[in-house]
Structure 1
Amino acid sequence: MKKLLLFAENCFVVIGLTFFMGGLTPGASADGVDTGLVPEIIVTMIRYFIWFVSALLLLLNGKRTLITMRRDWILWILTFLVLFSFAWSDFPEWTLLGNREIAQMTCFGLYIATRFSLREQVKLYAVTFGIGAIASAAFAIAMPSVGLDIDHVGAWRGLYGHKNVFGSMMVMTFLAFFALPVERPLDRWIKRIGIGGAAALILLSTSRTALVLAFTLLALMWFYRNYRWQGKRSIVLGSLGVLVGGAVTVGILTNWVALLTALGRDPTLTGRTYIWKVSLNYLLERPLFGFGRSSFWAPDSPYPRAISTYLSQSFRAPHAHNGFIEIALDVGLVGLALFLICYVSGFLKALMRAYGSKHPEHIWSLGFLTFLALNNMTESYMLRLANVYWVLFIATLLTVKQRMPIFEDEPELPLLTRSYRELPQVGKVREQV
């Protein structure tokens, strides 16, 4: 009976993650307006089922939930600020309606962090993203009208609304399989197939952003897997990496236009720079707390129309095309500062774990947080709509900030299923705060 319940719980997580990925609505538009092949009533039922079950499980495990929540109070201040932003929104009903998505993502992300260890999370992520990759390939081959992006000839979009979203999901698939722990000989083959398949699908998406992200994450993870916790050698290599990275960054910034032109990209990043400029100018009108979540881009808002004058009168910008600017527009510089505090503190924790642990799953946190920041430079993949990125951010942040002992040769540690006194005293213990 216990195994059956555990299996059901794992299935629930896979379904929930797939929903927030957009994998349960093949053929849907990228903005979420068109639900594609699945009737809207079914999508709504799934949405509230996931919200209800995750909230119920959190309540049934109230003590665990509170322990998990206490790991990052800043995150909950930010969440409260977002949920309460309808109070100063120009369109309070629109903001309040959309804030259900924040509550749903927060509940589900908190549930994952409370219930599963990092190793268990990575396994579930690999299963979920793997299913999404296989289903996407099947739709692209068997149902091209759904699986191919009609606006970009030859580009695959799979289950998702746009080729860039598909590319982004495949980068996370690549990352999940790279961080997948190997417990059996078969796991090694599964890992290789998953990495290779994700790489192939990234190419088929024709998303240059996804390709650059994949190469960046591969270089980062390769470095930490091969040179972590090797004393002076790691320090020297890390210093060289900083110098090389700094030189490359300066070169890119100096030759920005030439590099983008060589890559076949518009120097304005398809009008994104105009959107950023105008959005930041309007942000100066309400710098502290912003306009309220999604209010800036509401259907009756005048701001998207003002942005259209710089691009095309027929084009209405749906979002800022930058996750950090999007947060600032939603909850101001105060909200952005709270997010950056959460992010930087979580990134440093992830860096310590990736550097000090021999277990591959600890690379996931560092890789995902790096991916989240880079991916949000040209897209809005955080607080906008219901999405898997915010779910994984909450789960990763609360997991990586867990106060737990790390052993030099420890087995996988349970998250909250046993007290710290019951943990096996294996090897030398270092307390990581």
Structure 2
Amino acid sequence: MRESRPDTVLIEPAPSLWERVICIGLIAMLTGALIGPVFAPLQEETPVLRLVWLPAYAAIFGMAAYRIDRMWRAWPAMLAMLSVVGLAFASKYWSIDYETTSRRVLALAISGVFALYLGAVFRGPHLPRLLMHAALVMAVGSLAMVFAFPSIGVHQADNAGLWRGLWYEKNQMGAVMVIGATAAAACLASPDPRRLLPALTLGLASMLVLATQSKTSLLCLIVGLGLVGGFCSLKRGGAAFSVVAIWVAVVVAGLGIWTWETHSVAVLEALGKDPSLTGRTEIWDSLMRKVADRPWTGYGYGAFWGRVGESVPADWVRKETGWTVPSAHNGWIDLLVQLGWPGAVLVGVLMAATALIAVLRSMGSGVREGWWGLGFLAAFFVLSLSESILVQHQSLPWVLFLAVLTRAVLPSPAPVAVPLVEKRRGAYQTGSRIAAQYPHGPVRSRTVVSR
């Protein structure tokens, strides 16, 4: 079934079809869909997996060169990206694994180029629509794996019976489907009248999030959809509704923070989670002790989590926690062990600045994109508290964050901002009257007498 074309012309024309197809393929690769489980079933870097990325890198550079006229306008985002890459590059001089840091910094830089391309070329509603299409393709592929190849699509040992689709484990599928669902919701909230595929993607992606039984993914889904839906309601509900809704949101947020601070154990038990967050708190305590040894430099970008026997500090953490820890399960702590406090502060400033600009521009570009940027940023921040997604090479969440940053610093393509709350006219209020239009006004129209 084909979607009807929009009746109105969008702010900027959509990129060409071949660009969209290539970008969907690159987005799927950044999620690790199927490629990782096939070429690296043990979740380790292999020479074959590196070769698979070479055509992708060539495509990124080719598209960037093709759209260089748009990308150079995003020079503030380019400087921000280069500051992060530069710090990661400098860390190789004190890294505990010089070769790994050098290799992953290169991948981080190329991923940053792709992020700048997405943010500069896919303006307005085009980026969330691209993500919606990519998520729909991967959702259908995940269903095929679950029912046709359950040995790949369903967990067999740990978390047996839970769906993981095209990925290594369920949390990865949950994060990708959250991105897709948020993008689909933004498409529904945008002025674009096409509704069929966004509604289908939203339902399918949300169902797959539930199938993972990932509490973190479910929370990110609620936050992302809630923020998009909240801004959409503010725009359509009128001034009185907006005031009440904002007041209720502030009160609920305050109660939530108070409840967490005073009854966090009870909240976690109600959600079916143990107070240690499945051993995460033990990992965090152990890692913070290692951070204290190198607070200003870290251990080098991408160098801390080596294989067993290859990284002394990682082996120390694994021995202390009693299991083979693959990552910090927290983006900020993982950033601390790699780049130290300078890296964490830099990323925090970039994230706060991006969120602030997105809020300030919510009356203009936010309306056109269905507030996708704000919804993604909220889900991205929540996910960073439980998963290592910050400054990751070949990672879709980090690429999309840089894309949101790029879109935030670019000038708006439309000179007129759309108000967040529509101004309603009273029941008996009429338009303005000009005195010169009436015969008894101060300026009378000249009467012409025909002869």
Report the TM range for the smaller structure's normalisation: 0.7 to 0.9
Alpha-carbon shift at residue 359 of structure 1 (Å): 3.1
In 2, distance between residues paired with 1:383 and 1:120? 25
- Counterpart selection for 1:33 from 33, 44, 60: 44
For the 8 Å contact 1:350–1:362, the answer to whether it is kept is no
Q: Name the residue aligned to 2:155.
A: 149
- Counterpart selection for 2:223 from 216, 220, 240: 216
Q: Aligned pair in 2 of structure 1 residues 195, 247: CA closer, same or farther (>3 Å)?
A: same
Q: Aligned pair in 2 of structure 1 residues 327, 26: CA closer, same or farther (>3 Å)?
A: closer
Gaps of 5+ in 1: 411-433
1:47 aligns with 2:61: no
Q: Name the residue aligned to 1:308.
A: 318
Q: Name the residue aligned to 1:270.
A: 278
Q: Name the residue aligned to 2:328.
A: 320
- Counterpart selection for 1:96 from 96, 102, 107: 102
Alignment size in residue pairs: 400
For the 8 Å contact 1:291–1:331, the answer to whether it is kept is yes
What do residues 154-211 of structure 1 show as CA deviations (whole Å, max 9, x unaligned)?
Answer: 21000011111111111111101101156776x3122221111111111111112111
For the 8 Å contact 2:364–2:416, the answer to whether it is kept is no
- Farther-moved stretch of structure 1 (360-369 vs 350-359): 350-359
1:168 partner letter:
A
1:194 aligns with 2:201: yes
1:407 partner letter:
V
Alignment of 1:237-386 (within 5 A): 237-299=245-307, 300-312=310-322, 315-355=323-363, 359=367, 361-386=369-394
Q: Aligned pair in 2 of structure 1 residues 184, 391: CA closer, same or farther (>3 Å)?
A: closer
Q: Aligned pair in 2 of structure 1 residues 281, 15: CA closer, same or farther (>3 Å)?
A: same
TM-score, scaled to structure 1: 0.85
Q: Aligned pair in 2 of structure 1 residues 140, 207: CA closer, same or farther (>3 Å)?
A: same
Alpha-carbon shift at residue 213 of structure 1 (Å): 1.8
- Farther-moved stretch of structure 1 (219-228 vs 135-144): 219-228
For the 8 Å contact 1:163–1:205, the answer to whether it is kept is yes
Gaps of 5+ in 2: 1-12, 420-451
Q: Name the residue aligned to 1:21.
A: 31
Alpha-carbon shift at residue 253 of structure 1 (Å): 2.1
1:407 aligns with 2:416: yes
Q: Aligned pair in 2 of structure 1 residues 144, 218: CA closer, same or farther (>3 Å)?
A: same
For the 8 Å contact 1:75–1:342, the answer to whether it is kept is no
1:284 partner letter:
A
For the 8 Å contact 1:167–1:207, the answer to whether it is kept is yes
- Farther-moved stretch of structure 1 (287-296 vs 356-365): 356-365
Give the secondary-structure state (helix, strand or coil) at the position aligned to 1:349: helix
For the 8 Å contact 1:26–1:146, the answer to whether it is kept is no
Q: Aligned pair in 2 of structure 1 residues 397, 99: CA closer, same or farther (>3 Å)?
A: same
Quote the RMSD (CA, aligned, Å): 2.6
1:137 aligns with 2:143: yes
In 2, distance between residues paired with 1:57 and 1:275? 41
- Farther-moved stretch of structure 1 (97-106 vs 143-152): 97-106
Q: Name the residue aligned to 2:64.
A: 58
2:30 partner letter:
F
In 1, distance between residues paired with 2:43 and 2:393? 8
In 2, distance between residues paired with 1:30 and 1:400? 38
- Counterpart selection for 2:16 from 6, 19, 29: 6
1:135 partner letter:
G
2:97 partner letter:
F
For the 8 Å contact 2:36–2:43, the answer to whether it is kept is no
Q: Name the residue aligned to 1:426.
A: none
Q: Name the residue aligned to 1:123.
A: 129
Give the secondary-structure state (helix, strand or coil) at the position aligned to 2:165: coil
Alpha-carbon shift at residue 324 of structure 1 (Å): 1.0
